[in-house]
Amino acid sequence: MKKRSAGGFDRTDLDRLIEEITVDAYGEEEQLWAFRQAFEDKVDVPCEGSVIGEPVTVIGFDYDGNERRGLTAKCRRQDGAEYVVAAADVLLPPGTVGARYLAAYRKWIGLAPASSSSAGAIAMVVLSVGRNTARCRLLGSDKSVTLRDNRNWDLVPGEIATVRVHKQWTYAGTCLSGEIESRRLDAVALGLVPLRLEERGPWDPAQEYWGDEGVPIEKWAKAIIRRGPRPGYEMEQVLPGLDLEDPFSDSIGKAVDCRDSGDMPEARRMLMDLCQTDLRCLDAHAHLGIFLFDARPADAIRHYEVGVRIAELSFPRGFDGVLSWGWIDNRPFLRCLHGYGLCLWRLGRFEEAQRVFDRMLWLNPGDNQGVRFLIDDVRAKVRWENCSSR
């Protein structure tokens, strides 16, 4: 008896088809191009299909060279709007050549063939999280959806959630309900434009204050001084809705005021709105972490890390510049990094916390956040609750 996958395809047949498509391709990049060519040669488009239960016309399949994104499919909705999704999220009619090639592609990337009963699990970028809903964007697409699930509280803006869709309907946009199967952080896959790094001239340790004369220079500072001058940068800060001529337009400040007055739900909503508008608003991620830090560090760390990973998209390989606190647009990233390191420490992840604090001293040798007073305790693996210097 032939073994069949969950999608009703013969597994041996899919293996043969994958071998046929990739026989002369070496490495993932060449194999993706091979799949792209196979779809162009064998799959007739336009053709009918569906994405998360919504009927669409598939206009074509493509590969743009982004290995993380993989194959894409350009789709047209019934209202005429066109958008691009990951090819793995498309369902084609059973028994068609296209369905067979999609099943082979999904198997090649490690996914089970999609079935008409479930349409498979789909990946979506979390943009904002409310009490009962989460606003998301299909991974590799500009299409936004509203997700309803009783586990929405366990999602964080900037993470990628894998959801098995149970129901789809239209009410002021596309709405879904389903089961959240997993979540992950992959900043590169978010498809964001990196924040700009503006040059601010060289940073020279000879011009810095390292303590009073006759007082030994601390060990952490000696290596930084020996390294000598380094280029200084200021990171672009994204703050949607900010009007430099209106001091009351700062949504971060408003959120903090709401928190301080006891209205935490409204404070959280403001920060979530900023994330939904632009996930590159690092200060929103930082303050979502700050609001949770005292009571729930295991949740706070996820917000901080999202901000850190998004900021890191801006750094070229081997980045050795300085991001001084004095250049104020660097502060959202430094807040994220500081909160991330503190959470690692609180959670007993000492080696990781030490690496973060060492990095902070190199990025901002002025150490306005006081990492130098903590790092020795972290190296000694003194538990957070037992530390008197914090």
How far apart CA 91 and CA 52 sit, in angstroms, is 8
Tell me the mean pLDDT in the region 150-170.
81
Q: How many CB atoms lie within 10 A of CB 348?
A: 11
Contact call for residues 169 and 201 (beta carbons, < 8 A): no
| Band (4; pLDDT cuts 50, 70, 90) | very low
Contact call for residues 163 and 122 (beta carbons, < 8 A): yes
Contact call for residues 141 and 85 (beta carbons, < 8 A): yes
> If you average pLDDT over every residue of the chain, what do you get?
88
How far apart CA 67 and CA 120 sit, in angstroms, is 21
Which residue(s) pair with 83 in the sheet?
A: 75
Query: Given a cut of 90, is residue 119 above it in pLDDT?
Result: no
List Cα–Cα distances, 177 to 111, 174, 355, in angstroms. 21, 10, 40
Domains belonging to the chain, first-starting first, are: 11-108 (no CATH), 121-190 (2.40.50), 197-238+278-386 (1.25.40.10)
Q: Which residues contact 194 (CB under 8 A, 6 or more apart)?
A: 313, 314
Q: What six digits make up the tokens of 224?
A: 């930084």
The sheet that has 72-76: what strands, in order across it? Answer: 82-86, 72-76, 54-62, 47-51, 90-91
**Residue 67 one-letter amino acid:** E
pLDDT given at position 390: 66
The string of pLDDT tens digits covering residues 178-221 is 888 888 999 999 989 999 999 999 999 998 888 777 778 888 89
CA 354-293-323 angle, to 5 degrees, is 50
The model's pTM is 0.74
List Cα–Cα distances, 38 to 17, 62, 97, 273, in angstroms. 10, 11, 11, 42
The string of pLDDT tens digits covering residues 10-52 is 778 899 999 999 998 888 899 999 999 999 999 999 999 888 7
Tell me the mean pLDDT in the region 112-121.
56
Q: How many CB atoms lie within 10 A of CB 224?
A: 19
For 126-144, the three-class secondary structure string (H helix, E strand, C coil) is EEEECCCEEEEEECCCCCE
The string of pLDDT tens digits covering residues 254-313 is 999 999 999 999 999 999 999 999 999 999 999 999 999 999 999 999 999 999 999 999
How is 341-356 classified by DSSP, letter by letter? HHHHHHTT-HHHHHHH
